[in-house]
Structure 1
Amino acid sequence: MSNLIYLVPILGLVGLLVMIVKSKWVHKQDAGDKKMQDLANYIREGALAFLSAEYRVLAIFVVIAGILLGVISTLVETTHYFIIFAFIIGAFFSALAGNIGMRIATAANVRTTQAARTSLGQALKVAFTGGTVMGLGVAGLAVFGLSMLFILLFAFFMDSDMANGGVYQMTIVLEALAGFSLGAESIALFARVGGGIYTKAADVGADLVGKVEAGIPEDDPRNPATIADNVGDNVGDVAGMGADLFGSYVATVLASMVLGNYIIRDMGGSVDDAFGGIGPILLPLVIAGTGIIFSLIGTFFIKVSNNNAKEAEVQSALNRGNWISIVLTAIGCYFLIDLLLPETMKMSFFGEGILEISSIRVFGAVLVGLVVGGLISFLTEFYTAIGKKPVMSIIQNSSTGAATNIIAGLSVGMKSTFGPIILFAGAIWGAYELAGFYGVAIAASAMMATTAMQLAIDAFGPIADNAGGIAEMSELPSDVREKTDILDAVGNTTAAIGKGFAIASAALTALALFAAYVTFTGIDGINIFKADVLAALFIGGMIPVIFSALAMESVGKAAMEMVKEVRRQFKEIPGIMEGTATPEYAKCVDISTKAAIKEMMLPGAITIIFPILVGFIMGAEPLGAYMAGVTVSGVLWAIFQNNAGGAWDNAKKSFEAGVMIDGEMTYKGSEAHKAAVTGDTVGDPFKDTSGPSMNILIKLTCLIGLVIAPLLVAGHGESNDDSKAEVKEIIIEAPAVDITEVVTELN
């Protein structure tokens, strides 16, 4: 193995070291007066208490899942028991990534508030630096963890070169490495669902009673749910998003490495490169490592000097840094591909024969992935940003009541699926035509290379939201809240963009994992003319709908408890509305915590259990159809819910700044504003609970399929020994023979 691989964990460590430096800078900033610090401590303690409770439950899940993986490792030759340790490490790193984000966000929020007392530019710098800490932490942990495990597994298993049995040994390495990705995605699922239920239960309860019934401002300290609401911004949008993109990052790189191994197999194990013949496997790892550096460079270009800047200028600054990191990644990938890949490669796929792939065409696939990453940001911004036509249509419809506001928001969300789906379809088709399924996987890897930047931009939003809440609760001058509101409004758009980026990565990564699954199982495609295959396709399409319904129902149940508690406190604690008595914030925090832990279990169980049942009851080909159904349906539901919720939220915020309706300026407190608040309340669980969970549902489903694939080889139902032999033969079959002929002979 080339020494180049040792550079990758070093790049991960560089990201983590810069993260520490930037974290220390944030902590050195002024945290404001005692009241501000006390409020920030309430939020911090509530957030960490939730994480502690959630991780205790997830520790039990990790133990049970580890035992099941141990059973699989005893049944399948290509699955080594090391998959258990990789699973545990992946789960731990995913939880750690979320914890890092939580801690920096709850430290940066109050410092952003204090910075807003001086200038908008300084407030942006503090909030974005906090987001950068999270982005570098997630990317650094992912790159370091995945590359170090690969190095250790390579040293342990690989005792042959790729042309003499090395491809089969590499399959064992990558199958064990899949445990790392599975652990990361499992934690991400529960973190996203649990965090989303928590934040929206608090948010909906606070809005319905505080803003709509009592008529007090958002984040008013008299509202008993306001601390829980601010805690929720962190557990859902920070810890949940951190674990989410950590899992996406790892799954994307893993899928690319698996397909790189199949390229080497189809070339007879003889890849002409200077890296031990494993250049196609190393490429996605190196792209991920260098992406950290490119993202870091982009962060230096995000700043505003105008203290009177508006949302458009702040958004422009964030877009500038994002595009710089994307362009640098494109340039870097050109040289990396030239360095790591031979000029011509071969890859087989069922029904396609042997595909010729040139290195320059792989670079073309990289450009496809980067364009998708950039354009999905543009499309999401169009449908969710303040001042854009879709949000203005919701604003105009608010003038006639909540019903028309909701109808308009649903319409915006549904229409918003058109552009991204055409974009994804074109990207998948284009990347495949350029470089087969390896091209699709590398396109996803290139897009995910800027994860550190994407997360920095995304995490900036909830930090700014919390900063505004602290300003309101601390009763600071109105100009402070005006500055934080500008950042918060931009943050709503960047959060929607981050979710769009995550679902784009899920769509491309799922296809790469799907290709690896089909190749590994030896099935000759997915034939929907078979009754069981078509049945599984329908079941897969249904799962995201049921998952969304369960998540929405969970938010509704928890929100009802929150509403009752807030109403009780307003009624039974004299002096709350006068400001002479302190609400019982802790009770509202406790309600959200318990509800989130309880309600996250069923959606999580469905995600994990259903693909296993379909695989073992119906077979390999129906499971492939199930995975396809989950992917297509999940992508549509994710885009619809994320964009509808984001548009509703910014329509509400437009009224708070003042907006023109039918020639008249309309402000907070108007009937149209109240209708917008209702729409935003409906959209909250869309954009923060069920919508963001879809991409994890998609990837985890495909990962589970890949892990159990060795037990389902071709669905032939042979004895275990015969199955092992068939797996090995499929993996090491020489490329000179069309793979379809191999399947025919095996049958």
Structure 2
Amino acid sequence: GADIAGKIGNGWNEDDPRNPAVIADNVGDNVGDIAGMGSDLFGSFAGSICAALVCCAQSSDLSQSWNTMLFPLILAAGGLIACVVATGGCLMIFTVKEDKDVESLLKMQLIISSVLCTPLLVVICYYFLPSVGFHVKGKDGVMWWHIAVCCTLGLWSGFVIGEIAEYYTSGTYRPVQRLAVECKTSAATNIIQGLALGYKSCIIPVTLVAVCVYINFSLARFLGISIGAIGILMTLASSLTIDAFGPITDNAGGLAEMCLMPEYVRDRTDVLDAAGNTTAAVGKGFAISSAMLVALGSFGAYAQTKHLFDAPMIGGFQFMGLIFGAVVPYWFFALTMESVGVAAGAMVDEVKRQVDDKKDEKKNGDAIEVPDASEEDCNKCIAIATNASLIEMIAPGSLIVLSPLFVGYMFGAEMLAAFLLGAVVCSATMAVSASNTGGAWDNTKKLVKGGGLEQLLPKGEYDAKLHGKNSEAHHAAIVGDTVGDPLKDTSGPALNIVMKLMAMVALVFAKSIPDTGAIEQLYAKFA
């Protein structure tokens, strides 16, 4: 709403003090990218630990020892300690001398955290798991080093997925640079190439998660998958730190613009913000991959509770469940995008009303300049965003909580299992695509605004009036950024909750869900 009303509606710069929706925009960055992402990642953290504890409790060997029951918690605590050490080490050893060093420092923090966690998790597995082969539900003879391999695979899969997200969203790599070049043609070509970028960016992350799931399941069944999710989240403290970097620098840039500070100050905050957008995409990659493994771990706990190891996934109600499960993320995605559209429309109308009220009648043919927005004006925009976020989430939230219960009680436990698998797979690919597309469009806008096309276009073709700030190419990039904001900040991250919450609801109500649902029983009577 702030972008449409300010940049597109009135031609103002980003964070212009005349725009009353700017404060709501900055508040939204904090709520969504810090509080929201933190809640998402900590929810994954708790969910992975719970799934691992359930799997440990269902093992006749692991449930007998207090040390082995504590193992998932010790693993999580060890990762936190490693991240604190890595953060302190990075700040003492590395310094920022050039613009490019910002992104490198943040990346180095994540690398060191992952390196420190690797030997630490091996030591924890060695001391807290039985030294001889033990039983997990569905497999005998699991060794402590099998669990260490599962955790290590999760840890480094998460790191690689984050690097893939960086490649597709950072302005220093070819995908975003190609989008910037497309902006000189039109906004339409920018949108087309951005969507293609997002779809392409799904391939490697989803393949990595699939390989990780296969190996972990082969080694330790669903306990291995749950431990893999904990492995991804062992670097949670570091990933949250670099994820919060983006909204902090974005707000700093907004303050610089509103306080009319010199241009070089805003240029520096833009450099930091561009690095923050990339790290935010890395954090979203972690969140999506961990959510997928957490959902599969919770699904495994549900499947073990209902004894569904031999349940067929093809045929009858099971195949129908897969299809229904794949539809739900699209339904949820549509509801959240509509919610953003409704809230943005209300915000634009409010800003337009305020601006029209402030414009005095023309004198001598000249319009009086619109004054800066007051605190009361900003509070009205914040109230619109707050009310919309609460009211518009009722329908999507109800869909995710009630749909597993409806499928379970109406069609039975086996169809619910298929339903969950369809939802997890579809949500994962959509979430990766939406997050990377939005992040790429955001950095494309910053690249064009900062004159990045001068290095990308053939020598002699660059013209600041056509390809620089406030040019047609810049306006095309702004359109892409405006479309990408709800993708990367609303609908994409929300699909993480879809995966985890549906599986967790099924696990919580597993004991009460019948093997044969009401509709299935009715069908059997007349078949």
- TM-score over 0.5 for the pair: yes
**Deviation by residue 1:451-489 (Cα, 9 ceiling, x = unmatched):** 111111111111111011001101112222122111111
- Match of 1:355, SS state, is strand
User: 1:608 matched to which residue of 2?
Assistant: 401
Letter of the 1:601 partner, please give it.
I
Match of 1:244 among 40, 45, 51: 40
> Is the contact made by 1:431 and 1:439 (CA closer than 8 Å) also made in structure 2?
yes
* Residue 424 (structure 1) shift: 0.6
For 2:196 and 2:311, locate their aligned partners in 1 and report how far apart those are by CA, in whole Å. 34
Write the letter of the residue equivalent to 2:457.
Answer: D
1:560 to 331, 337, 345: 345
Cα separation, 2, equivalents of 1:385 and 1:230: 22
Distance verdict in 2 for CA 1:581–1:598, change over 3 Å: same
Aligned twin of 2:524: none
Letter in 2 for 1:212: I
- Secondary structure of residue in 1 paired with 2:73: helix
Alpha carbons of structure 1 residues 698 and 418: separation in structure 2 relative to 1, 3 Å:
same
Residue matched to 1:408: 193
Q: Which residue does the alignment assign to 1:212?
A: 8
Aligned to 1:662: 457
Residues in 2 aligned to 1:423 and 1:658: alpha-carbon distance in whole angstroms: 36
Match of 1:593 in 2: 386
Length-normalised TM-score, structure 1 = 0.65
| Match for residue 422 of structure 1 among 190, 193, 207 | 207
Deviates more, 1:513-522 or 1:570-579: 570-579
Structure 2 residue 275 is the aligned partner of structure 1 residue 490: yes
**Corresponding residue number in structure 2 for 1:366:** 151
Residue in 2 aligned with 1:709? Answer: 510
Change (3 A) 1:307 1:460: closer
Look up the equivalent residue of 2:216 and give its one-letter code.
Answer: A
Structure 1 residue 437, shift from structure 2 partner: 2.2
- Retained in 1: the 8 A contact 2:177–2:444? yes
User: How far apart, in 2, do the equivalents of 1:327 and 1:513 lie?
Assistant: 28
Amino-acid identity (%):
41
* CA distance in structure 1 between the aligned counterparts of 2:97 and 2:129, rounded to whole angstroms: 50
Name the residue aligned to 1:578: 369
Single out whichever of 279-288 and 646-655 deviates more from structure 2: 279-288
Instruction: Tell me the secondary structure at the aligned position of residue 343 of structure 1.
Output: coil
SS in 2 for 1:450: helix
Matched residue SS, 2:142:
strand
Q: Does 1:318 align with 2:119?
A: no
Q: Distance in 1 between matches of 2:496 and 2:146?
A: 28
The Cα of 1:710 is off from its aligned counterpart by 0.8
Which piece of structure 1 moves more, 435-444 or 642-651? 435-444
Q: Deviation per CA, 1:275-328, whole angstroms, max 9, x where unpaired? A: x62443211100111221111111113449766521x31111011111111111
Match of 1:61 in 2: none
Query: What is the Cα deviation at residue 716 of structure 1?
Result: 8.8
Contact 2:17/2:372, CA 8 A, preserved across alignment = no
What is aligned with 1:57? none
Give the superposition deviation at 1:521.
0.9
AA aligned to 2:347 is M
Give the C-alpha shift of residue 244 in structure 1: 1.1
Superposition TM-score, scaled by structure 2 size: 0.91
The whole-number CA distance in structure 1 between the counterparts of 2:146 and 2:357 is 69
Aligned amino acid, residue 508 of structure 2: V
Shift of the 670–540 alpha-carbon distance from structure 1 to 2, 3 Å rule, reads same
Q: What letter matches 1:585 in structure 2?
A: C
Shift of 1:438: 1.6
Cα distance in 1 for partners of 2:368, 2:31 equals: 28
- The question of 1:638 aligning with 2:431 is answered yes
Q: What are the within-5 Å matches in structure 2 for residues 162-173 of structure 1? A: none
Instruction: Report the count of equivalent residues.
Output: 501
Could you say which residue in structure 1 is the equivalent of 2:284? Answer: 499
Q: How does 1:82-101 map to 2 (within 5 A)?
A: none
**Equivalent-residue separation in structure 2 for 1:662 and 1:316 (angstroms):** 26
Is residue 19–residue 373 contact of structure 2 (8 Å, CA) maintained in 1?
no
2:288/2:431 contact within 8 Å kept: yes
Matched residues in 2 for 1:423 and 1:259: separation? 23
**Is this contact kept in 2: 1:256–1:281, CA < 8 A?**
no
Residue 713 of structure 1, CA deviation: 5.8
SS at match of 2:71: helix
User: What are the equivalent positions in structure 2 for 1:367-386 lying under 5 Å apart?
Assistant: 367-386=152-171
Q: Secondary structure at the match of 2:89?
A: coil
Q: CA deviation at 1:595?
A: 1.2
Q: After superposition, give the CA deviation of every residue in 1:116-157 in whole Å (9 maximum; x if it has no partner).
A: xxxxxxxxxxxxxxxxxxxxxxxxxxxxxxxxxxxxxxxxxx
Q: Which amino acid aligns with 1:650?
A: N
Displacement after TM superposition at 1:432 (Å): 2.1
Question: Which residue does the alignment assign to 1:671?
Answer: 472
**Residue 652 of structure 1, aligned match among 428, 445, 459:** 445
Q: Return 5+ residue gaps in structure 1 as ranges.
A: 1-204, 718-747
Choose from 100, 110, 117 the match for 1:329. Answer: 117
Match of 1:309 among 91, 98, 110: 98
Q: Report the AA paired with residue 698 of structure 1.
A: M
Deviation digits for residues 478-516 of structure 1, max 9, x if unmatched? Answer: 222122111111111111111110111011111111111
- Following superposition, the deviation at residue 535 of structure 1 comes to 1.2
For residue 695 of structure 1, the aligned residue among 496, 501, 509 is 496
Distance, in Å, in 2 between the alignment partners of 1:324 and 1:365 is: 20
Could you report, residue by residue, the CA deviation over 1:9-36 in whole angstroms, capped at 9, with x for unpaired residues? xxxxxxxxxxxxxxxxxxxxxxxxxxxx
Q: CA deviation at 1:581?
A: 5.0
**Distance (Å, rounded) in 2 between the aligned partners of 1:582 and 1:633:** 43
How big is the shift at 1:667?
1.6
- 1:234 and 1:431 mapped to 2: Cα distance? 36
Secondary structure of 1:449's match? helix
Distance in 2 between the 1:290 and 1:306 partners?
Answer: 27
Pairing 1:21-420 to 2, within 5 Å after superposition: 205-263=1-59, 265=60, 267=61, 277-303=65-91, 309-310=98-99, 312-347=100-135, 349=137, 354-420=139-205
* Residues 578/307 of structure 1: CA separation in 2 closer, same or farther (3 Å cut): farther
Q: Distance in 2 between matches of 1:651 and 1:526?
A: 47
Cα distance change, pair 526–672 in 1 and its aligned pair in 2 (3 A): farther
Return the alpha-carbon distance in structure 2 between the equivalents of residues 430 and 484 of structure 1.
43
Give the superposed CA RMSD.
1.9
Q: Distance in 1 between matches of 2:307 and 2:422?
A: 20
